[in-house]
Chain A
């Protein structure tokens, strides 16, 4: 036993200090692997938990500035590999490991983060099929969130131009990778939604590594897309890359170009529909004319029509005679009146003869009109219709005839075959029908005896 004076007595603090120094020196650069347990995230941003294996455990801390850089969320049961240094917490004399880096064991950190966020948002129903909105039928204004200098905007504008989509593009220029990119993308979606003219939004960027595409896997971007007022198309990376943005978007396009094509296609479908309708319109009009023409043919074949036409002509003549008689009597009245007018000039002021003559003339006119009108109306109804129908039919009849099942037979040189003598057995001819041509070969010809010319 040494004497009290020879003893080197240390205070508790001194011991802990010494241990802290030694531990700090020998364990300043440690990689450690274990399972997270008893995980607690404090409001300060620091993370406290234990790392354990089958036989042992160690307290671990990840301070805020390191915790902020983690791409995934720590949780109990997670197997991790961490890097850090040992430290003695002198108030309690317990030691712990201060971790500056933590990675999920097995999967890469980003992959893990991706899986975690995907699971979380899926649980919230953000990927649900019933949340997906269809693209607007005819988008007029397309909002795009991407880099103003990247290949993506170039590809998208080229595609829209190529397809002649009659749209307006409003670009929200955003950084699409690196620090702050996710915030800019989310802000872009919100800013475009705030405009009343934007019908659809494309968020995208060209392909790259998982780190390059990372912004599109951030929760903020996913939330902004989910909250968008208008449908959102994601067009991120290459065919095979799936990002969280793709899952939450209303429509996922494989690439920025494909996203622009989706917009352009709505207009192409419109043009096709327009073309079809124009065709249907013409066909319907031809059919109407054909039917009316038939009805008129039917009528004119009737003897009654001839009688009526004769009757109408006769009435017309009568009207003419009446009108000229009326005019004659008006003229006579006028002449008589004007001769008397000289005499009566000043005296007959109150019975103004000119006015009386005019009244007479008007009365006669009215009579003539009464006779005139029904007859003229009848004449014009039939005459004008016939004329119009005839003109339309002349203009459209070749087509209409083909449509009704008639066909035109053409020789290879394009001349129309109208006589048997124009073709010989074995010769090739082409039948032109309403929607194309049928190539045929002549088997034999037979001339009708009755076929006059």
Chain B
């Protein structure tokens, strides 16, 4: 579970949260070796931090669908008027 640890573009928030929940449960059960516990703890901290960072850098992106001559939709940036 600690393998695909790339908190870049495709961070799956739901999965990260579920994993974090699992880690907390494992730690709370309290029957792990210390080094295993510490490894889990560190992994958990990394997950939480990755989520936080991803959330902090998120910016609202707005586009609009525009119909072209063939009746197909293309996506264009949307700029709000009269702001």
Contacts and interface: CB of A to CB of B under 8 A. Distances in A.
B27 A284 contact: yes
Interface extent on B, as a size class? 35 or more
Contact of A274 (B20, B58, B65, B78): B20
A271 B55 contact: yes
A284 B30 CA distance: 8
Interface in A148-175: 148-149, 153-154, 157, 160-161, 164-173
B57 to A, nearest CB: 8
A148 B62 CA distance: 11
A285 B37 contact: yes
A207 B53 CA distance: 38
B17 to A, nearest CB: 6
Interface stretch (A112-120, A220-228, A244-252, A287-295): A287-295
Nearest to A295: B34
B63 A169 contact: yes
A273 to B, nearest CB: 6
Nearest to B16: A274
Interface in B21-42: 21, 23-24, 27-28, 30, 32, 34-35, 37-38, 41
A172 B38 CA distance: 49
A50 B24 CA distance: 76
A313 interface: no
B48 A166 contact: no
Contacts of A274: 17, 20, 48, 51-52
Highest count of chain B CB atoms <10 Å: which of A271, A281, A392: A281
A288 B13 CA distance: 27
Contact of A157 (B51, B52, B60, B65): B60
Contacts, number: 114
A38 interface: no
Contacts of A169: 60-63, 78
Interface string A287-313: 111011000000000000000000000
Interface residues of A, number: 43
A278 B48 CA distance: 7
Nearest to B64: A171
Contacts of B65: 170-173, 188, 191-192
Contact of B83 (A154, A280, A284): A154
Contact of B48 (A148, A153, A192, A277): A277
Interface in B49-74: 51-52, 54-55, 58-66, 73
A154 B78 CA distance: 12
B51 A385 contact: no
B13 to A, nearest CB: 5
Nearest to B83: A154
Interface string A266-287: 0100110110011011001101
A352 interface: no
A226 to B, nearest CB: 21
Contacts of A291: 30
B14 to A, nearest CB: 6
Given A170-B75, A273-B17, A280-B24, A389 B34 contact: yes
Contact of A154 (B13, B30, B32, B80): B80
27 contacts: A137-B14, A138-B13, A148-B81, A149-B82, A160-B60, A166-B54, A166-B59, A168-B60, A168-B61, A169-B78, A172-B64, A172-B65, A173-B66, A191-B73, A270-B17, A273-B17, A274-B48, A277-B21, A278-B45, A281-B20, A281-B44, A284-B24, A287-B27, A288-B37, A388-B35, A388-B38, A389-B34
